[in-house]
Amino acid sequence: MNVAHEPSAPHPPAAGRTSHRVRAEIDLAALRGNVRALRERAAGAELMAVVKADAYGHGMVPCARAARQAGAAWLGTATPEEALALRAAGDRGRLLCWLWTPGGPWRAAIEADVDVAAGAPWALTEITAAARACGRTARVHLKADTGLGRGGCQPAEWPALVAAARAAEAEGTVRVVGVWSHLACADEPGHPSVAAQLAAFHEALAVAGRAGLEPEVRHLANSPATLTLPEARFDLVRPGLSVYGLSPAPEIGAPEDFGLRPVMTLRAALASVKRVPAGHGVGYGHRYTTPGETTLALVPAGYADGVPRHASGTGPVLVAGKWRTVAGTVAMDQFVVDLGGDAAEAGDEAVLFGPGAAGEPTAEDWARAVGTIPYEIVTRIGARVPRIHLNADM
């Protein structure tokens, strides 16, 4: 056989081929389907689509719009900057952001009708000052630390925080619309901390109720809890990863078990295909040597694009109809795959990951290959990778 023995000529992009070096296609129809599937699973609880970190790397504004179209009554962000960017893009629905530091843009958030979170007295003090300054009532979600040990108020301080919030309500600067917490081990079904956190959350709600607070929404559930833990749903669930069609952990199940479809497909156009002799070193450090005369293909995506350097020698890629493995080290902008005896040409497509329906690897496969979680695989896709949003209109 050996087509590849033919002298390799430069190939201009064929008709219909994209000129993109690498691109992340974002299927908004899949995202809407995921939101609908999650709403059904939430069984009456409202849904907050978490769109922090540029919608887990998928592009915040188009994803937020699609989530609203599919009935997400709430959006959630980590930072106030993310929430304000959604308002600047025209979003007008309920919107919570929870990751604040002293001196944060409280007043801008309150004026933009963004719900804010407080898990400590300093935050409540800054919120009431900002609300007074602009003559508005801040909508606050009080955060209890029920065992995660990250943000939120410890049980010992909770009665004082609740009392301060009640006093601010009486003054008219604050309305406590939410009481919430976050789970540590919801992705490990049966982990004893889950029941302990549920009990602690019920206790925090009871303390708030006795102090006279009447929150509209009590919320605790992230993706794994939304998918597997009905007793954690309360009035509102806060899925993130599952909105993007990924499963938080193999123990939880596969996306399709829940009617979820991965939203992102990461594709690249091969930048070079060439024959090389046996014993040829490949890439920095020569961590790969061709075992025989072979065909090498160059994938023009590297760690600056979010391809983990830990994928060196392990990352799976679909090229010319088969899974290949990253040969040698992932560089900043590129990596190589060994096609063996198979033929390809420059401009042919490499699919790093996608839904898996066309035989390509998934983000979960990449996570397994590099020893991380699918969250990190999609979130770390670099800023220079264009996000191409498909099916924006229903």
Give residues in contact with ligand PLP (CB under 6 A).
50, 52, 78, 98, 182, 222-223, 238-242, 248
Please, what's the largest Cα pairwise distance for the chain?
83
Catalytic residue among 52, 56, 244, 375: 52
Instruction: For ligand PLP, give the closer residue by CB, 242 or 265.
Output: 242
Per the annotation, the verdict on 52 as an active-site residue is yes
Exposed/middle/buried for 321, CB within 10 Å: 0-12, 13-18, 19+? exposed
Amino acid at 18: T
Sheet of 349-353, strand order: 272-276, 294-299, 335-340, 322-327, 316-319, 349-353, 264-269, 22-27, 387-390
Q: What is the nearest approach in angstroms of ligand PLP to the Cβ of residue 394?
A: 24
Q: What is the nearest approach in angstroms of ligand PLP to the Cβ of residue 91?
A: 18
Q: What is the nearest approach in angstroms of ligand PLP to the Cβ of residue 74?
A: 11
Amino acid at 239: P
In the three-class reduction of DSSP (H, G, I as helix; E, B as strand; rest coil), residue 389 is classed as strand
Instruction: For ligand PLP, give the closer residue by CB, 53 or 352.
Output: 53
Q: Taking a C-beta distance cutoff of 8 angstroms, is the pair 179, 218 a contact? A: yes
Q: What is the nearest approach in angstroms of ligand PLP to the Cβ of residue 220?
A: 9
Instruction: For ligand PLP, give the closer residue by CB, 144 or 270.
Output: 144
Burial code of 288-312, b = ≥16 C-beta within 10 A, e = fewer?
bebeeebbbbbbbbbbebbbbeebb
Instruction: For ligand PLP, give the closer residue by CB, 145 or 169.
Output: 145
Q: How many CB atoms lie within 10 A of CB 389?
A: 20
Six-digit token string for 117: 């979170």
For 16, 122, 243, 263, the CA distances from 33, given in Å and listed in that order, are 28, 40, 9, 10
Burial code of 169-188, b = ≥16 C-beta within 10 A, e = fewer?
beeebbbbbbbbbbbbbbbe
Q: Taking a C-beta distance cutoff of 8 angstroms, is the pair 162, 207 a contact? A: yes
Instruction: For ligand PLP, give the closer residue by CB, 239 or 328.
Output: 239
Residue nearest to ligand PLP (CB): 240
| Integer Cα distance of 66 and 82 in angstroms | 17
| Integer Cα distance of 53 and 114 in angstroms | 17
Instruction: For ligand PLP, give the closer residue by CB, 162 or 225.
Output: 225
In the three-class reduction of DSSP (H, G, I as helix; E, B as strand; rest coil), residue 32 is classed as helix
Q: What is the nearest approach in angstroms of ligand PLP to the Cβ of residue 350?
A: 28
Q: What is the nearest approach in angstroms of ligand PLP to the Cβ of residue 222?
A: 4
Catalytic residue among 56, 143, 244, 284: 284
Instruction: For ligand PLP, give the closer residue by CB, 218 or 238.
Output: 238
Q: Taking a C-beta distance cutoff of 8 angstroms, is the pair 41, 228 a contact? A: no
Q: Across-strand partners of 217? A: 178
- Annotation-wise, does 332 bind a ligand? yes
Beta-carbon-side half-sphere exposure of residue 236 (alpha carbons within 13 Å): 25
Q: What is the nearest approach in angstroms of ligand PLP to the Cβ of residue 129?
A: 25
Element (H, E) at 277: none
Per the annotation, the verdict on 244 as an active-site residue is no
How far does CA 381 lie from the centroid of its chain? Answer: 11
Residues within the annotated binding site?
Answer: 150, 332
Catalytic amino acids?
A: 52, 284
Residues within the annotated binding site for substrate?
Answer: 150, 332
